[in-house]
């Protein structure tokens, strides 16, 4: 899990460095900045909630989530532990155990497997879901 978190953070840092033309990340191919884009550009602006695969590694996956203001990612469960990172905006994460936490830029939360949870957008938001 630490490797995935490190890679996701490194990927975001690399994508934000517009002055670099190429970057090498571990054993991955060279990434050219012309192929990089902002996380919000992969989602349709008209959808209240959108989830798109962003990266699939050998040990896990990273999904980019967009939840617009008042959008609701309805109740669901994950079968494996997950990490939800708020990249931009503000959301409320809740679960069936009564846990409730507001996440904003840079905040993250560990999601327990087999526990029903949901997420509501307080602002237009961009998130990373790392499994």
Residue 108's domain spans which residues?
A: 39-130
Structural domain tally of the chain? 1
For residue 72, what is the domain's CATH number? 2.60.120.10
* Nearest partner of 37 among 7, 5, 69, 14, judged by Cα: 14
Whole-number pLDDT of residue 51: 83
Longest pairwise C-alpha distance within the chain: 47
Place of tokens 């840079």: 106
pLDDT tens figures, 10-61 = 444 444 433 333 333 333 333 333 455 677 777 878 888 988 888 777 778 9
- Establish if 10 belongs to a structural domain: no
How confident is the model at residue 36, as a pLDDT? 58
**Which pLDDT score is estimated for 35?**
57
């Amino acid at each position: 899990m630490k490797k995935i978190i490190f890679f996701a953070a490194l990927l975001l840092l690399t994508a934000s460095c517009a002055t670099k033309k190429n970057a090498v990340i571990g054993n991955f191919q060279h990434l050219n900045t012309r192929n990089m884009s902002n996380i919000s550009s992969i989602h349709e602006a008209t959808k209240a909630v959108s989830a798109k695969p962003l990266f699939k590694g050998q040990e896990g996956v990273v999904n980019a989530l967009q939840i617009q203001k008042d959008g609701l990612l309805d109740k669901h469960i994950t079968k494996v532990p997950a990490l939800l990172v708020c990249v931009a905006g503000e959301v409320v994460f809740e679960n069936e155990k009564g846990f409730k936490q507001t996440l904003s830029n840079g905040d993250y939360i560990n999601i327990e497997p087999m526990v029903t949870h949901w997420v509501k957008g307080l602002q237009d938001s961009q998130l990373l879901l790392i499994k």
